Structure 1
Amino acid sequence: MESREGKSISDLEEEFFHKFRDFMTGITKIDELGIAGSKLLSGFQQALEFIRRPPIDMNSKLVHKIIVANETERVKAYINSGCRKLNESIQSVTNLRSCTHGLCNHISKAKEILNELEGLLGDVTNAIQTTDGNLLALSDLDFDVELNEPVTYNDLEEKDALSRSQSPDVTTTKKKKSIDVPHLAMVMAFIYSMVKQDYLMQEKIVSALDVKMPSEELESYCQMWSLRPFINDEIVHQAWEHIH
C-alpha cells in the first residue's frame, strides 16, 4: 500500500523508527546534561555557603579555651580573617562564578536539544498526517506544555485506547514485528512534555539564583533539580524497550 508520498507503510514505519531512536538518543543527552547541571548547582550551593559562613562564636567557653590554649600569631590572623583562609575564599568566589556560568550554558544546551526533540516530534506528526489515514493522525495532541499544566499518564492511556479503536487491527494485517506507530508517537509526545516541564523548572531555578537567597530556598532548588518531579522514569524505560 502506497502513501501520497509514494512510500509503503513499511518504509514509513522504518523511517519513523529511526526518528524514534534519534528522539530517545536526545532524551539520553538531556538526561546527562541534567546530571551535570545538578552537580553545578550543588557546587554553587557549596561555594555560596562557604562565602557567607558565619564566624566562630567567640562567646562559646569551649572555643575560647581552645583559642587561648593555641594563641599563636597564625591562629590570631585566622580568627581576624573571619576564620577563612585567603586562598579558600578566592577559590570559592571563582567556583561560584564558574558554576553560575556553567548553569547558564546548561540551560542553553538543554534548550537546543529540546528544540531538536520538538522537531523530531513534529516530523513524526506530519508523516502520520500524510498517510491517507493508514496511520492515525495526531492532530489532537497538544504539544504546548506549561510548567503549571503537567500532562498525566492517563492522557497517554486514553489517547492510546482511542488510537486502537480507530485504527485497523495491526495484529491481523501486519507482521508480528510491525511497529505501532500511533502509540509510539504518543509516547514521544508524552516524554517530550515531561522533559519540557523539567527544562522549564531548571530554567526558573537558574534565573532565581542569587547570592542573597536564603539557604533553605537554595537547598530546596537542589533537591527539586535532583528529584526531577516531572519525569516518569518508568515511561522512559518502557520507551527504550521498543529499541533494545
Structure 2
Amino acid sequence: FLQRPPMVTSSKLIEKIMKNNETRRLKSYMEAGCINIHDAAESTRASKSLIMELERLTDEAALAIETATKFSVQLDKDSSDELQQENETVHFSQEPEVTEYATLIAVVHSMMKQNYVMQEKIVRSLSLKSSSGELETYSLMWSLRPFVEDEIVNRAWKWIY
C-alpha cells in the first residue's frame, strides 16, 4: 500500500530541484520510493471499508449457520421420528461444512481487522519528525502483516475457487 514507483528524475528541472534541496531526509524519501502519507491514509480508508464489508459478510454467515443448524435439527428430528419405526439412524454431514465456512470467515475478518488497526496506527504516527529507525520498523511491520496467517487466507481462497 505504501510504495509507489520511484520518482522520474530524468527531467532536468527535477534533477536541479533535488540537487539544490538535497538533504538526508529527501534522499531517504527518494530511496523509499516517494511514500506519500496522503496515499497511505487513502489506502487505510479503503481498507476500513473492506473491513466493514467483511464484517457484514461475517454477520450474514452467522445468520446462514443459524438457519442451517435449525434446518438440520429439524431434518434430524423428522428423520429420527421416521427412522425410529425402522430402528435406523442417519448423520447429516452438511452442518460441519457450513460451520467451517463461517468459522473461517470470522477468523479472516478478525485477522484483517487487526491488520487494519495496525496500519491505521502506523499512518497516524507518521510525521516528518519520525526517525529512520522508526520508519524502518513501520515498514517492516507493514510488510510482514503479523496478524495475517497466510495459510488460513490460502485455505479461504481455495474454498472460494
> TM-score per shorter chain, which class?
0.5 to 0.7
Aligned residues: 129
3-state SS in 2 of match to 1:238: helix
Match of 1:85 among 19, 34, 52: 19
Paired position in structure 1 for 2:109: 192
Q: 1:115 aligned to 2:49?
A: no
Question: Equivalents in 2 of 1:193, 1:98: separation in Å?
Answer: 28
Which 4+ residue blocks in structure 1 deviate beyond 6 angstroms?
94-98
Question: Equivalents in 2 of 1:237, 1:196: separation in Å?
Answer: 17
Task: Output the TM-score relative to the length of structure 1.
Answer: 0.46
Identity of aligned residues (%): 37
Paired position in structure 2 for 1:224: 141
Q: What are structure 1's unaligned runs of at least 5 residues?
A: 1-36, 44-83, 137-167
Compared CA separation, residues 170 and 88, structure 1 to 2 (3 A): farther
Contact 2:3 2:35 in 1 (8 A): no
User: What is the identity, as a one-letter code, of the residue corresponding to 1:118?
Assistant: E
Q: For residues 53-202 of structure 1, what are the structure 2 equivalents within 5 Å?
A: 85-86=19-20, 92=26, 99-131=36-68, 133-134=70-71, 169-171=91-93, 180-202=97-119
Paired position in structure 2 for 1:59: none
User: What is the identity, as a one-letter code, of the residue corresponding to 1:117?
Assistant: L
Q: What are structure 2's unaligned runs of at least 5 residues?
A: 7-17, 74-89
CA RMSD of aligned residues (A): 3.3
Q: For residues 2-13 of structure 1, what are the structure 2 equivalents within 5 Å?
A: none
Determine which structure has the larger helix proportion and give its number: 2
Paired position in structure 1 for 2:128: 211
Contact 1:110 1:199 in 2 (8 A): yes
Give the deviation of 1:243 after TM superposition: 2.6
Question: Equivalents in 1 of 2:72, 2:105: separation in Å?
Answer: 16
Compared CA separation, residues 208 and 185, structure 1 to 2 (3 A): same
Q: 1:242 aligned to 2:155?
A: no
3-state SS in 2 of match to 1:39: coil
Q: Please, which moves more after superposition, 126-135 or 227-236?
A: 126-135
CA deviations 1:62-119 (Å, max 9, x no partner) are xxxxxxxxxxxxxxxxxxxxxx613767xx5x98997111011111111111111111
CA deviations 1:165-213 (Å, max 9, x no partner) are xxx8434xx6xxx981111100010011011100000000000001111
Compared CA separation, residues 101 and 128, structure 1 to 2 (3 A): same
Compared CA separation, residues 217 and 132, structure 1 to 2 (3 A): closer
